[in-house]
Structures are given as structure tokens and as C-alpha cells.
Structure 1
Amino acid sequence: MPARTTRESLPSHPTAIDVENLRKTYRIREGGGWRGKTREITALDGISFSVPAGEIAGFIGPNGAGKSTAIKILSGILRPSSGMVRVGNLVPWRDRIAHVARIGVVFGQRTQLWWDLSVAEGLKLLGDIYNVEPARFARNKARLAEALDLGGIMDQSVRQLSLGQRMRAEIAAALLHDPEVLILDEPTIGLDAPSKLAVRAFVRSLRDERGTTVLLTTHDMHDIEALAERVIVIGHGRILADSPFEALRATTLSERILEADFAETPPPLTLPEGATETQRSPRSVTITFDPRRIPAPALVAHLNTLPGLDDLRIGRPAIEEIITRFYADHAS
């Protein structure tokens, strides 16, 4: 896992993505026929955030939070009701041709390749669409094929690929034209563990070696934990948090987990204030504790007096538990 940084410690870079007071409303018809009433739905309610060049930012939220609407506006697919967006100083819906030439987008549940063409043919067609000169196309295709392990599938049609193979090909397709900004929407959905690890490693290399700015939206919190230096949380069309993940963890769920293994059946426990037994098995006990109330060394010292103690392990709650708690705290 990459070392965590705070926004204050990040080097100063030009802003790659700048979102200012962005709003998007829809009118939907209720009831049957032309006489049905309409009502307004607010998908985005004045959100603002910026992403410096060369940063990997996670953009997360529960279903219906407004993530997809924001991504479509950033990609130039939708126009907002009000507010402003600049991606590399271009307004996506006004400067669409120039904009799409400078960004790459991967939608995990959609394809930009053609089902009946081979991967190589699809990449060639996209290279022509983006006007990638032949020498640069050949160089990028070779680099991406090696980095994403595409050599064995170049001559296969897209419809014949497994989901993991197709997602690697989709990432290559999004990067053929050397985009400055990469928008990833569920890039590891449905992938097996080796494929997820490969995609994460490649995304990190893009930022580290080429300075690519990445905006990552996903429900897989392990992608966020592995990649994002910063997490922007959206809910109800509003920004709920914008901070390094560790800061979000500290303010949302500061509890720690201690697992104690015993040579025989664990004895009854009398725990200090701030520690609670949450699970027991024939040879182990799980304890949740708040380090602000009972420091870990003090709790370990207390448990070391127990007969038959064999091993102690201290960890943090799973990232999914932290995010679930955060969503629950902001449900209203």
C-alpha cells in the first residue's frame, strides 16, 4: 500500500479538475399519460472540489448519491443546470472535441471497444479516431500491451474475452492518446483478485511515471484504500467529506480491534473501560477498543496477566465498515 499523505504535504501542482458550485436537476413525470405531474429531482446540489495535477483522488458515495451524474458532466456527456467545471482549463460540454482528446474514461459496465472486432482492430480504430500519429500509436500500443498483459488476446474479438481481459483492454483503449486526466468508473468491477492487483499497480505506475491525474469512483473500498491519496465523499448530491482516508477513518471510526488467542478455552474477561468483548470462539476472543479511552499498550498489559494467553494481534476495522458507518451517520 502506498504511503499516506495529507493534502498539506502534497507538492503544489496546477489544478487538473476544478468543480465550482455544480448543480444538476432533472424533471421526471409521475403518473400515466401526458397529464401526469412532473417534479424536480436534484442530483447535484452545488458541489465544489478540485484535484491537483498528478493526484489520485477517490470519489465515492452510496447508490443515488450523484457520483454518476458528476462523472458524466466531467466527461462531457451531460451539461449541468448551473455551476462550472474545468478539466485542464477546458469546459467539458463547451470544448467537447478538445476535451475528449485530453482525457481517458473507463466505465466498468460499458465498453468503448467493438464487440465483433479484435482487440488490436479496436485499438487501431480508436487510434484513428483520436488522430494518434502512427509512430506514437505503435509505441503506446506496445507499452500498454506489455503493462496490461494483452499480448495473448490482441487477436481475439472483444466478445470472446473474460471480464478481466476486457477491462484491461478497456484501460488500454482509454490511454492510447496519452490523456492528462483519467476517469475510472468501477474499473475493477467483477474482476478476480490477480486482475484487481494488476489494474491497481498499473494505475499507480501511470501517476508515478507519467504524472497522470486520476479520479476513481468505485464501490470496492479496497481500490480506494490501495490507490487514493484523498477521498471525496458525496451523498444526497452534496460533498460530505474531502480528506485523506486516514483522517476520515479517525473522525468516523477510531475503534481498534484486538484478537487474543489462548492455548485452551479463554477465561472470562474483565476489561477496562473503553474495551468491549465482541466475539468469542473456543480458542480466541475479539475485543473492540477505543485507543482514546484505553491505549493499546495498557490493554495489552492488562491481557498479558491472563492464564493461557498465546498470541495478541491488533488491527483496524475493515474499510467497508468505516465507510458504512460514515454513510449511516450522514443518512439524513
Structure 2
Amino acid sequence: MSFSNSVFKGQVAVVTGGVTGIGLGVAQAFSDAGLRLALTYRNEDHRAQTAAWFAAKGREEPLFLKLDVTDRAAFAAAAAEVEAHFGAVHVLVNNAGVSVFGPTDEASYDDFDWIMGVNFGGVVNGIVSFMPRIKAATGRRHVVNVASMAAFLPGPQAGIYTASKFAVRGLTESLRYNLAPHGVGCSLCCPALTRTNAWDSALKRPAEFGESGFAPVERSELEQFGTAFEAGMDPYEVGTKILRGMERGDGLILTHPEFAEDFREIYETSLAALPDEEAPPERLAIENLRRAAMAAAQAGTVIGLGDLT
């Protein structure tokens, strides 16, 4: 597929976790649109397979960066390497993550530190490392933080995972207002079931986070769980939807259509939970200032604390 008319053609994009799953789908869609790529990875075999795909297509080979997204010093070094290699950075897709499940009431500190450190901390590290460079670049620029439908839909086995994705959602929705005055787009992407190997994250647990409160999971059980992912969306389709959302300047990119019932329930439950009483005028005035400030920020105005009171 070709997106030769993309407004991002020729821009430099960094995709974390860019050699497998959704990250690879994003990289392939971006390549089809003419973007130049830097891809972070952990596994050498996956890196080689991705390099072979680009070679077979006759495309420019991405700049491959071996990176643990929790390593802040390595992230900063990677950002400097991307800028030295390409001269500028225009797009950041914070995609790398782990999918690890277990009852939250049994979780250990290591469970929290590992999952939050990758899924939320990795996004933070990407923003801190690359944001100054993206703001300094010219032309179309964009940040995409890939969360999950878990950013809206909690589950009994996904408490820490859900917390990490809720955190990415809140961070991204606020960051959007900060980046608008700089002409930088910002999107939250929440994919659902996708054909990836994310199910095996628990088998890749680092030794330094080895004290889990979750019961050990047998590989056979994880493989059975992984069969659900076979019904998932093709990662390339997710990548094309992210690209199209960026091109439109969408703040929220939802890739899967099957959640209207869930969103309706969230909306109706939230409205029903509001007290049926009048709010005092002085509180209403503050909330109206907040709404006005948000609209102004979205339109490109820098908002300070003085605009909120």
C-alpha cells in the first residue's frame, strides 16, 4: 500500500518497540508513507527480520537502536544518535510495553515497578528525551502515545496494566494542550485485540523484578491465552489508522469499532453518579474558566496558572 501523498512524507519518525507487533505495523505504514525511521528494539532476531522486510521493499534501512525504554541514560543517548543521524526528529511514537496480568491485591512492589516502569515510565522517558528536539524541528510534527483500550476498560486480571494505560491516557490528554502552541500534534492511540506476541510478556520478566506476587504462570497456559490474539487486527491496519489519525490531527485514535456498548455504559454510569443538586455559582465560575482555558490551549494559547482562577 502507498501513502505517497502523506503530509508526513520525508519526516523522521522514532518508534519504540518498532520491530514487532503494533510497533512494526506502525513502522511499515510509515515507510509506505515515505517517512524515515528510527526503531528501537530488544531482540536481535526481530531486528534482523525487520531489516529484511525493508531490504526486500528496496527501502532505506531504519536506524536501529537497541534500547530498554526504562533506561533513561540510554534513551537520552538514543535521542542524540537519532538527531546526529538524521539531523532532525519530527515524530515520536511511544509504543513499547508489556502485557502482564494477575490479581492486583496480590501484586508485589516488583510487579508495580516493572509494569509501570515500562508502560508509563517508558513513555515519560521518550517525551523527556525527544520533546526538545521535536519542538525545535520544522514542518509537521507529532507525538503518539500508544496505550490500550485498557485506558478506558479495567479488568479483574489487569489492574497494574490498566493503571499504566490510564496514566498514559491522562498524560497524553494533558500534553496535547502543552504542545498545541508549538504546532506539534499529540494523539492518544488505544488499540484493542491485535495479532501480536504481547501475550508472552510474562516470560520476559527481568531478574531485577523477579519477586512477583502473582502465581507462576505455565507457558502452556500463556500459549492458550495467546490464541485469542490470533483473532486480532493486523498490526499494519493499526499502523495505517495511526498514520491517518496523525494526518487529521486527531487527539484520540481508536482503531477498533467494537466498543460502542462499553463507552455508552461509561457515559451513562458517569452521568448517573453525578449528585442531583445545584452547584454554587463560585464553583461554576471556576469550572467555566477551566473550560475556556482548555479551549484556548487547544487553539494554541499558552495557559498559565493565572488563567485558571
Smaller-chain TM-score bracket: 0.3 to 0.5
Structure whose residues are more often strand by fraction: 1
**Larger Rg over CA atoms:** 1
What is the TM-score when the length of structure 1 is the normalising length? 0.31
